[in-house]
Structure 1
Amino acid sequence: MAIPFLLDSNFFIEAHRNSYPFDVFPSFWNKVKELAHDGRIISIDKVLKELHLNKDELSQWCADNLPADFFKDTTTVMPNYTLLINWVYSKSAQYSQSAISEFLDADEADAWLIAYAMTNKNELITHEVSSPNSKNKVKMPDAAIPFNVNCIKTIEMFRILGEQF
């Protein structure tokens, strides 16, 4: 079986709020459920925590439709998370202290997603856009590049998977 795609929180949030609302695109959500149950997409515990902050229709959908093992434990990726810590601190001349603190916040999923992808060779699905000159936010694609983690968008993932709606 192919290595599953790793989903960022914004995969779910953007789809639910903007691109594919439940009431208009049930086929999108049925496909997400199918891919999750087939093990072709996964996410991590930190994303689950972010999704449950709102206790809304999206968090309920995730609880009702995704397999119990969909959100993977990140405690196993600590060595690669440590590499990310060292990398971001090496960029302290570029990034503000608040940007570094936000990126390394234990409850923020971004660094953990990259560490998980580094460990397990996943492609990362995110809507974040690279901004290599940013000073106020460490963008996930920019932090992923030095560690050979590929970030792609939702539509590109569906194309790679050969999915159509």
Structure 2
Amino acid sequence: MVQYVLDTNFFVQAHRMHYPFDIFPSFWNKVKELAEVGVIVSLDKVRNELVHNKDHLTDWIETNLPKDFFQSSEVVINQYSAVASWAASRSSHYTQAALNEFLNVDEADAWLVAYSLVDC
């Protein structure tokens, strides 16, 4: 089965810009349906970024997504190490600030890349 990994911006932009809950409930019903069958997943790092705001989106995530939707980032430690090494090896292409942000252990981006490297 093909599985898609969602980042924070998928939820935030959909909620705030394109598909408000009260106008496009069908969009959010489809997200819930795809999550329940495992077609879409995300990581605990994304969840942490999302619940930080404690808003309507946080409430929706907490009540509509399956408990196993947000996968543990612990399972991709080896892949994260490879991603970090790759990023460090490209330090001449990126500013140090960009590398620091990408590799910040609390930020989801590098972890999402690492998750995509796992053999499913």
TM-score range, shorter chain: over 0.9
Q: As a proportion of its length, which structure holds more helix?
A: 2
Scaled by the length of structure 2, what TM-score is found? 0.96
Aligned to 2:74: 75
1:48 and 2:47 correspond: yes
Aligned to 2:85: 86
How many pairs does the alignment contain?
A: 120
Tell me how far apart the structure 1 counterparts of residues 13 and 19 of structure 2 sit (CA, whole Å).
8
Tell me how far apart the structure 2 counterparts of residues 120 and 99 of structure 1 sit (CA, whole Å).
28
1:91 corresponds to which letter in structure 2? R
Tell me which of the two structures has the higher relative contact order, counting C-alpha pairs closer than 8 angstroms and 6 or more residues apart: 2
Aligned to 1:33: 32
2:71 corresponds to which letter in structure 1? K
1:139-150 paired onto structure 2 within 5 Å: none
Scaled by the length of structure 1, what TM-score is found? 0.71
Tell me how far apart the structure 2 counterparts of residues 79 and 120 of structure 1 sit (CA, whole Å).
12
1:110-129 paired onto structure 2 within 5 Å: 110-120=109-119
Distance 1:49 1:120, change over 3 A: farther
Q: Which runs of 5+ in 2 are unaligned?
A: none
Structure 1 residue runs of 4 or more that deviate by more than 3 Å after TM superposition: none
2:95 corresponds to which letter in structure 1? S
Aligned to 2:98: 99
Deviation at 1:91, TM superposition (A): 1.0
Tell me how far apart the structure 2 counterparts of residues 11 and 30 of structure 1 sit (CA, whole Å).
15
Aligned to 1:12: 11
- 2:117 is paired with a residue whose SS is helix
Q: Percent identity?
A: 52
Q: Deviations over 1:89-136 (max 9, x none)?
A: 111111111111000001100000010111145xxxxxxxxxxxxxxx
Q: Which runs of 5+ in 1 are unaligned?
A: 122-165
Aligned to 1:130: none
* Aligned Cα root-mean-square deviation (Å): 0.9
Tell me how far apart the structure 2 counterparts of residues 88 and 40 of structure 1 sit (CA, whole Å).
29
